[in-house]
Homo-oligomer: A and B are copies of this chain.
Amino acid sequence: MNLSQMTKEQLTAFRDENLALYNDFKAKGLCLNMSRGNPCKEQLELSLDMLNVFDDGNFMSSCGTDVRNYGLLDGIPEAKEFFSEMIGVNTDEIIIFGNSSLNAMFWAVQTAFNKGILGNTPWGKLDKVKFLCPVPGYDRHFKITEFFGVEMINIPMTPTGPDMDMIEKLVAEDESIKGIWCVPQYSNPDGISYSDETVKRFASLKTAAKDFRIFWDNAYCIHHLTDSPKCILNILDEAKKAGNENIVYIFGSTSKVTFPGAGVAVMGASKENIDELKKYLGISIISYDKMNQLRHVKFFGTFSNMVEHMKKHKAIIAPKFRLVTEALNKEIAPLGIGSWTDPEGGYFISFNALNGCAKKIVKLCAEAGVTLTGAGATFPYGVDPEDKNIRLAPTYPSMEDLAKAVELFIICVKLASAEKLLAEK
């Protein structure tokens, strides 16, 4: 029965029943964390052999530089070749960074603030800088722009990507809008992959600002959860076709391919963009960890081997996603107190509760020992205007722990929803 159709008495009984279940749970003293998109131990074990690739004693990059020493600021040649295929750029359109694509994004924004982009005024010298933020989105993106005092404008997501009509209108009118955060494949947290039309519209965006950049965080480009994945269009190719090749900065990493703490991050963009960025890169570092770059290239050999490797990840984590969505289908769907995504890739399930219930649900879970991503985190400034979105990260816990956590989550959703509806009676 749909919860909204219940009488006050029915609702009260439902609430009390779930409150009792909740208190039972609380007594168990659970301590589980579903807050971040962390791979689980079995996933980490998949890349263990990467640690042995130097047993051959060969530390030379293909250009003759010893990767243990300084040098090769923008990456070793074989890493450029390897990763350019991953993010769909040429080998002169890529920089290989350290272990963190977030760090590369922060650096790129910082560079725009301090030095400007291709001869335009440094953003730090402007009265106002704005970014568009498709919501719900990735909290760490929003924290970067918040750090730099950027005004963030929410853009609603649709099943084909962000609302392009709204974006096209805003960027055409307002020169102070300098960028947009995008996770184009399996978006964080909705799992939405941008349609071909969306990518093409991004690629040919006409912006009032000459230094507008799309921050295209393709974090999940090979992180599929189905057997027949569909990849998004190559944005740099499309931008070139549209004579607009400088509009995009592409980011990617192996954080969820090899080791989250010790992967390799990359950035791709037009040669003109990359050539300018390289000029500034050497101010902040002598070189990134090239041993780790070579470790990755030696371990995988070819890009298609890395894509194969991702199937082993899928085998471990796809059942976890299924566990969550099946439980929600069974327990929440009939009650009409929430909706959620069933993603074909990426790391998250996005749950929308009844308006005004997200914070309550997250708090209830926390008090019973299950940490979720903070409610609101998926919005700029941590403010979800409808207080409804909750990001679920099912990869890290074991199936057994995940089952417990989901059971608790469902109880909390029921409890919070019943209380909300009771309050409205």
Q: Could you tell me which A residues sit within 8 Å of B by CB distance?
A: 36, 38-39, 41, 44, 51, 54, 59, 66-71, 98-100, 102-103, 106-107, 110, 113-115, 124, 140, 143-144, 147-148, 255, 259-262, 280, 282-292
| A261-B287, A262-B292 known, 20 other contacts, Cβ within 8 Å | A51-B51, A68-B262, A69-B260, A70-B260, A98-B99, A98-B289, A99-B289, A100-B285, A100-B287, A102-B286, A106-B285, A110-B110, A114-B147, A114-B148, A140-B286, A143-B283, A144-B284, A147-B280, A147-B283, A261-B291
Q: Quick one: given A69-B44, A114-B147, are A262 and B290 in contact (CB under 8 Å)?
A: yes
A262 and B289 contact, CB distance less than 8 A: yes
- Bound: A390/B289 CA distance, A: 29
B147 and A261 contact, CB distance less than 8 A: no
- Bound: A289/B68 CA distance, A: 16
- Bound: A199/B328 CA distance, A: 64
B41 and A66 contact, CB distance less than 8 A: yes
- Bound: A229/B339 CA distance, A: 68
Select one of B51, B261, B282, B289 contacting A67, CB under 8 A.
B261
Interface centre among A107, A261, A284, A292 (most CB of B within 10 A): A261
**Nearest-neighbor residue (CB-CB) of A51 within chain B:** B54
Q: Show 26 A/B contacts (Cβ-Cβ < 8 Å), sorted by A.
A: A38-B69, A39-B69, A44-B59, A44-B68, A51-B51, A51-B54, A67-B261, A68-B262, A69-B261, A70-B255, A70-B260, A99-B288, A99-B289, A100-B287, A102-B284, A102-B285, A102-B286, A103-B284, A106-B284, A113-B114, A124-B124, A143-B283, A144-B284, A147-B280, A261-B290, A262-B291
B102 and A69 contact, CB distance less than 8 A: no
Tell me, rounded to whole Å, the shortest Cβ–Cβ distance linking A219 to chain B: 12
Tell me, rounded to whole Å, the shortest Cβ–Cβ distance linking A262 to chain B: 4
A261 and B144 contact, CB distance less than 8 A: no
Contacts of A287 in B (CB 8 A): 100, 260-261
Q: Quick one: given A44-B68, A110-B110, A280-B147, are A261 and B285 in contact (CB under 8 Å)?
A: no
Contacts of A67 in B (CB 8 A): 261-262
**Nearest-neighbor residue (CB-CB) of A111 within chain B:** B147
Q: Quick one: given A38-B70, A260-B69, A262-B291, are A100 and B286 in contact (CB under 8 Å)?
A: yes
The 6 closest A-B pairs by CB, nearest first: A106-B284, A262-B291, A68-B259, A103-B285, A70-B260, A44-B68
- Bound: A326/B115 CA distance, A: 46
Contacts of A286 in B (CB 8 A): 100, 102, 140, 260
Contacts of A284 in B (CB 8 A): 102-103, 106-107, 144
Q: Quick one: given A51-B54, A99-B98, A280-B147, are A70 and B285 in contact (CB under 8 Å)?
A: no
- Bound: A147/B54 CA distance, A: 37
Tell me, rounded to whole Å, the shortest Cβ–Cβ distance linking A207 to chain B: 25
**Nearest-neighbor residue (CB-CB) of A149 within chain B:** B114
Contacts of A288 in B (CB 8 A): 99-100, 261
**Nearest-neighbor residue (CB-CB) of A70 within chain B:** B260
Contacts of A283 in B (CB 8 A): 106, 140, 143-144, 147
**Nearest-neighbor residue (CB-CB) of A72 within chain B:** B261
Contacts of A70 in B (CB 8 A): 36, 38, 255, 260-261
Contacts of A259 in B (CB 8 A): 68-69, 291
Tell me, rounded to whole Å, the shortest Cβ–Cβ distance linking A61 to chain B: 10
- Bound: A67/B51 CA distance, A: 14
